[in-house]
Amino acid sequence: MKFKAGEVQYITNKSLMPIKIVKNDTDVSAGKNKWVYSQSVKSHFFHPENLVEDIKKFDESKYDGVGVVGSPACGDMMKLWIKVDQKNDRIKDCKWQTFGCASAIASTSILSVMVTEKGGMKIDKALKLKPQDILARLGGLPPRKVHCSVLGDKALRKAINDYFRRSKQFKRIVTEGTTVIDPDTKITDKDIEEAVLEGADNIEKLQQKLKVGIVDKSVKAKAEALMKKFIEKYYG
């Protein structure tokens, strides 16, 4: 199947985060300056696994962790939910939605299969998954599309951290290169910024989302000040 340049199609119009197919993004011929997609990429793009097609029918409350990330490279977004078998510390379900392109759809589809197959992947192993692991299962992506495979991988780590927070396993939270605001819950300035972008506009909502300051109450004021700074920055 081929798409004309500039064309955008929606797989579903029911999703809050519809999926777009960017033109020239799939099924192109091999050769200089052309992009080639593996059979696996095409298959997962046209038949994505574990995709949330209708968010209105999707019960988020049944999931143990959620991660939302945006791509600095293209501005696209990914949202991913996990259910965890707490007794065995394995991921037993993984669902996702994206605004991303065909490569992001295929990458996240295969990622969702990888973490749930064979009884579910151990959480510690899932935390170590790299885009290269996803690319290996997909049979590769064109170089300019490799950044798309990072979206699902980052959203998965955020969902796992969210699960750790909700289940009060704060010591297991893995932070990535930002300033830690709350050492007990390992909340960073980046977490607070993202919570503001997701709608936290007062300290109650911020604490509901992040559990910031629930152990050391003195952190609350610092978190609130930072939240207000981000509200000012984004909403004036």
Binding positions for ligand FES, rule: CB under 6 A: 71, 74, 76, 100-101, 103-104, 148, 151
Closer residue to ligand FES, CB minimum distance, 71 or 207: 71
148 included as an active-site residue: yes
Catalytic residue among 74, 113, 129, 203: 74
Separation between Cα atoms, residue 30 and residue 15, nearest integer Å: 34
Within 13 Å of residue 38, how many CA atoms lie on the same side as its CB?
18
Q: Which DSSP symbol is given to 48?
A: -
Closer residue to ligand FES, CB minimum distance, 75 or 236: 75
74 included as an active-site residue: yes
Distance in Å from the first CA to the final CA of the chain: 46
Residues found in the chain: 236
Closer residue to ligand FES, CB minimum distance, 139 or 142: 142
Closer residue to ligand FES, CB minimum distance, 36 or 214: 36
In angstroms, what is the minimal distance from the CB of 75 to ligand FES? 7
In angstroms, what is the minimal distance from the CB of 67 to ligand FES? 15
In 10 A of CB 183, how many CB atoms?
A: 11
Q: Would you list the DSSP string of 69-102?
A: EE-TTT--EEEEEEEEETTTTEEEEEEEEES--H
Catalytic residue among 123, 148, 173, 192: 148
Instruction: Scan for tokens 């192109």, then name that residue.
Output: 28
In angstroms, what is the minimal distance from the CB of 146 to ligand FES? 10
In angstroms, what is the minimal distance from the CB of 148 to ligand FES? 3
Instruction: Give the residue numbers marked as catalytic.
Output: 74, 148
